Amino acid sequence: MAQWQNLLNDGNNCFHEKNWIEAEYCYKEAAFHLDSLWSADIKNVQLLMAWVCVSHNLATLFEAQNNPELSLQYLLIPHNRMLSLCHSHDSCDDTKLIAQNALKLTFMPILMFSKRHPVCDKCTKSIAEFKENIALNQQVVH
């Protein structure tokens, strides 16, 4: 098993035991390893999705500790990265497609978070605009 997987498993165990400090450490280390691995293999969807998952685990961890501001930041980090990849002139078409598909996965937790916690007006507006864009860009399959 890869080191990041061991760290993720350890983080999950610590989370369930409410050992918040150790869970945070494990999740952040797993995120660091995944980020490094993905940077070397940017077409690897599994590594990217694992990194998103670890970021969302950190968001859940901070929400469980009643720190919604930090929780939201860990939801926004992967979402903003996917937006950057989509709009980057340096990204190849494959990477842009991967990022576009990942945006749907990064947006829904933000939307759900905004229903549980108040967010600033700027975030509320951004969420509404992004939700509208998704609706406009969905293709109907017959």
Tens of pLDDT, residue by residue over 13-29, are 999 999 999 999 999 99
In contact, 86 and 99? CB cutoff 8 Å: yes
pLDDT above 90 coverage of the chain, percent: 55
- Indicate the average pLDDT of the chain: 87
Cα gap 73→69, rounded to integer Å: 6
Can you tell me the mean pLDDT for 128-141? Answer: 57
- Evaluate if residue 134 carries a pLDDT over 70: no
Given pLDDT bands bounded at 50, 70 and 90, which one contains residue 79? very high
- What's the chain's Rg over C-alpha atoms? 16
Enter the pTM of the model: 0.85
Residue 93's pLDDT band, with cuts at 50, 70 and 90, is confident
Name residues whose C-beta falls within 8 Å of residue 37's C-beta, 6 or more positions apart in sequence.
Answer: 4, 44, 47
For position 95, what pLDDT does the model report?
85
pLDDT at residue 140, rounded to an integer: 43
Residue 117 is predicted with a pLDDT of 83
pLDDT recorded at residue 114: 87
Residue 140 phi/psi, 5-degree rounding, is: -90, 130
* Domains with residue ranges and CATH for the chain: 3-137 (1.25.40)
